[in-house]
Amino acid sequence: MMTWLNHHSFLVLMVAVLVFGVVVASSIGRPWLRGIVIGSLGITVLLAYVTLASGESTHVTESSVLITLGDGSPTFIEFYSDY
């Protein structure tokens, strides 16, 4: 269960945010305003996913990392995984 939650935590959190937003927005009397609130929340969730997704690595193989480290140039190493 923990592995599944680790892999899908962003999805679970965003579904919870959207459900909470829909529940809160359902109390708004004007349908057009309710649509704007829910639409804005959906766009915000989408932008968060696009912004927070990890990018491509500049090094694909271990040998390219070793070459960069071995030539004496300053190197920033960051380990990150979507999982």
Residue range 60-64: mean pLDDT, rounded: 80
Kindly give, in sequence order, each residue whose CB lies less than 8 Å from that of residue 41, ignoring residues fewer than 6 positions away. Answer: 17, 18, 21, 25
Is residue 83's pLDDT more than 60?
A: no
Number of neighbouring beta carbons within 10 Å of residue 24 = 13
pLDDT at 40 exceeding the cut of 90? yes
Spans of all domains in the chain: 2-56
Say if residue 71's pLDDT is above 80. no
